[in-house]
Amino acid sequence: MCRVVDLKQAVLAKNDSAAHTLRAELGARGTTVVNLLSSPGSGKTALLERELGLARERGVPVAALTADLATENDALRLARSGVPVKQVLTDGLCHLEAHMLRRHLDGWMPEDTRLLFVENVGNLVCPASYDLGESLRVVLASVTEGEDKPLKYPTAFGLAQLVVVTKTDIAQAVEFDEAAFRAHVQQVNPGVDVVLTSARRGEGLGILLERALEVGAGGAVHAPVMARQRHTHDHHHAGDHEHDHDHGDGADHGDGAHHGHGADHDHGPGHHHAPGTGHGPGRGRGDEHGPGHEHGPGSRSTHPHSGVVPTR
């Protein structure tokens, strides 16, 4: 008899717990977290700078935390908006995690902060797998990246609660096919809103701010089909399971062996649950439960993980 414990799964499970706690704590103090994901060079820093400036003009208490592998360039740009900004250097880690976010918020974020925008590391793979305790997950793509971007990164786009297209001022020059892009987004995430923006011309300026404020006020949030499907699938396999298994390799685990499940068990952003359950924005890899996933007595969640690099 043996019990296999996957360190990768334990790391993601720990992140879920931390995200759930952080979401509850920030919600109790009236702070809404917006997680911004995109590829490098998508223009999210330029758009966020305009949105932060607009929030300041309207008197909305807002702050921003930006993450990069190196340099403080983005923080310096965002600070021009006049709102509290903090740079996080991940020292090679390709994403933020909930415990990292919490550590950097302690003693820095003003108590009256109504909105916290988190500019995640430029990457559409790893960040999609980690909940940060956010209430709104936004994926951005520039017109220069190609209309098939949603199909190439189905997890990131499939779990988004809002999709933002940037740099529309050069859409014609790069022959961006808006209809094809929208069709591909709907293919992986039916019903999600797609908004067009240009930080240079001001097109769509304020939409991101308004959506965040609506969510903070208790407004409806898009629930991705991918998240609902993975939630339903997961509940057929949730927790510790006791089976007699023939693993085909001569290993006899015996009665009561515990097995994790690793096939796309995923809870995505905005997933709605009956009272007594707690789920947050989800991930798209392995046996993945959205952050803050709660199970009944004796149940257990395990998750794969690609490893952790020390951060500062």
Distance spanning both ends of the chain, measured CA to CA: 41
CA distances from 288 to 92, 257, 272 (A): 23, 21, 16
Residue with tokens 């991940």: 90
169-177 average pLDDT score: 97
168-197 average pLDDT score: 98
Q: What are phi and psi of 267, to 5 degrees?
A: -120, 120
Q: What is the distance between the alpha carbons of residues 263 and 191, in angstroms, rounded to a whole number?
A: 25
Q: Who wins on pLDDT, 263 or 226?
A: 226
pLDDT of residue 277: 38
Q: What angle do CA 179, 181, 186 make, to 5 degrees?
A: 95
pLDDT of residue 231: 52
Q: Who wins on pLDDT, 4 or 56?
A: 56
Side by side, which strands form the sheet with 85-89? Answer: 85-89, 62-68, 115-119, 32-38, 136-142, 162-166, 194-196
* CA torsion angle 93 75 176 185 (round to 10): 50
The partner residues of 34 in beta bridges, in order of sequence, read 117, 136
Interhelix angle for 7-28 vs 98-105, to 10°?
A: 40
270-292 average pLDDT score: 41
| Average pLDDT score over the chain | 79
For residue 270, which of 127, 129, 159 has the smallest C-alpha distance? 159
For residue 82, which of 55, 102, 104 has the smallest C-alpha distance? 55
Ordered DSSP codes for 187-232: HHSTT--EEE-BTTTTBTTTHHHHHHHHHHTT------HHHHHHHH
pLDDT of residue 129: 83
pLDDT of residue 228: 76
User: Do the beta carbons of residue 266 and residue 255 sit within 8 Å?
Assistant: no
Q: How confident is the model at residue 292 (pLDDT cuts 50, 70, 90)?
A: very low
Q: How confident is the model at residue 8 (pLDDT cuts 50, 70, 90)?
A: low
> pLDDT by residue (tens digit) across 208-243?
999 999 999 999 999 998 877 655 544 444 444 444
> pLDDT by residue (tens digit) across 294-306?
444 333 333 333 3
Q: What is the distance between the alpha carbons of residues 264 and 285, in angstroms, rounded to a whole number?
A: 6
pLDDT of residue 15: 83
Q: How confident is the model at residue 90 (pLDDT cuts 50, 70, 90)?
A: confident
- Can you give the C-alpha Rg of the chain in angstroms? 20
Which pTM value belongs to this model?
A: 0.73
pLDDT of residue 289: 42
Looking from the CA of 132 toward its CB, the CA atoms found within 13 Å total: 32
Q: Has residue 190 got a pLDDT over 60? A: yes
243-271 average pLDDT score: 40
Q: Who wins on pLDDT, 278 or 164?
A: 164
> pLDDT by residue (tens digit) across 200-210?
999 999 999 99
pLDDT of residue 271: 43
Q: Has residue 274 got a pLDDT over 90? A: no
Per the structure block, which two tokens stand in for 137?
Answer: 């997950």
Residue with tokens 């995923």: 266
CA 235 to chain centre: 21
> pLDDT by residue (tens digit) across 39-89?
999 999 999 999 999 999 999 999 999 998 888 999 999 999 999 999 998
Residue with tokens 């994403």: 95
Task: Please list, residue by residue across 90-110, b when 16 or more beta carbons sit within 10 angstroms of its beta carbon and e when fewer do.
Answer: beebbbbbbbbbbebbeeebe
Q: What is the distance between the alpha carbons of residues 4 and 101, in angstroms, rounded to a whole number?
A: 30
**What is the DSSP pairing of strand 162-166 with strand 115-119?**
unpaired
